[in-house]
Copies of this chain bind each other. A is one copy, B any other.
Amino acid sequence: MTVTIIGLGLIGGSMAIDIKAKGFAGRIIGVDSNDDHAAAAIARGLVDEVMNLETAVTKSQLVIIAVPVDRTRLLIPEVLDLINGNTVVMDVGSTKAEICATADEHNKRKNFVATHPIAGTENNGPNAAVSGLFEGKLAIICDPEKSGSFALELVRRLYNTIGMNTVNMNSKEHDLHAAYVSHLSHISSFTLGLTVLEIERDEKTIFELAGSGFASTVRLAKSSPEMWSPVFIENSNHLLNALDAYIEKLMLFRKSIKNKDASHLYNLMKEANEIRRVLDGNKLTEVKAVI
């Protein structure tokens, strides 16, 4: 099978590595509007060749769109216009409702599958692509009832091949939850980075006092503005609600600290500790099973 990947960044590049290594695709064509990225992808052997979008798409049985979400929305009708009846088109964007709404207007909607693989790092570009990025993780497939079964089957097989399980989700539900669980994390981390950089003109002190806790919390502040700016804007309604809820909680901390109210502060943190149970849920069950 020939697969075209549009956008040879962290996600597109890492997919290229794994679908080639696992034999899912015999030939991978890369498309990238950034010539340096295209050249780097060739140099690293991520793709077999680089072509313009039109030529690449018409030669492929599967087209993976892996560019920022605003550009994904522009590309979907363009790519669907180009394909023949059996070609499958999928995207991997972090927001899904607007992308699905765009695809819904196209008469080849059944050829399109909206997905969100929950995987990534704070790095970007073709040089950030790594093997095994998706292994053991989850890919969300949105509004599967709008996709043809041939398309769903191919996309699920792709994700299974690179080590992912898939779950279905409504695209609007996806964006609501993603605002809280993913997008808000990024904003809080970017904000932490900005705040510390502003006060700490003496970088030596940041470095000396930065334990693994700070490094972990601020990690996402290294993420790509090119990718995240469109995500935040596209999901602005849910994200503004999430931000307001976050600011409300932050003010509870502020008030308790100002009033030196140790007991309220303790209770807020004890409540937040519950996240351990959610995140470690599976692990705890495994440990119990071993005991």
Contacts and interface: CB of A to CB of B under 8 A. Distances in A.
Interface of A: 118-122, 137-138, 140, 167, 169, 173-174, 177-178, 180-182, 184-200, 203, 205-223, 225-226, 228-230, 232-233, 236, 239-240, 242-243, 245-247, 249-250, 253-254, 257-258, 260, 262, 265-276, 278-279, 281-282
A276 to B, nearest CB: 4
Question: Which of A120, A212, A213, A276 has most chain B Cβ within 10 Å?
Answer: A213
Secondary structure of the A contact surface, majority rule: helix
The quantity of this chain's copies bound in the complex is 2
A252 to B, nearest CB: 8
Given A215-B279, A218-B275, A266 B229 contact: yes
A242 B207 contact: no
Contact of A245 (B186, B195, B242, B249): B195
A218 to B, nearest CB: 6
12 contacts: A118-B210, A120-B212, A167-B208, A178-B209, A180-B199, A185-B218, A186-B213, A203-B281, A216-B219, A222-B275, A228-B269, A243-B254
A140 B208 contact: yes
Question: Which of A119, A229, A240, A272 has most chain B Cβ within 10 Å?
Answer: A272
Contacts of A240: 254, 257-258
A182 B209 contact: yes
B236 A192 contact: no
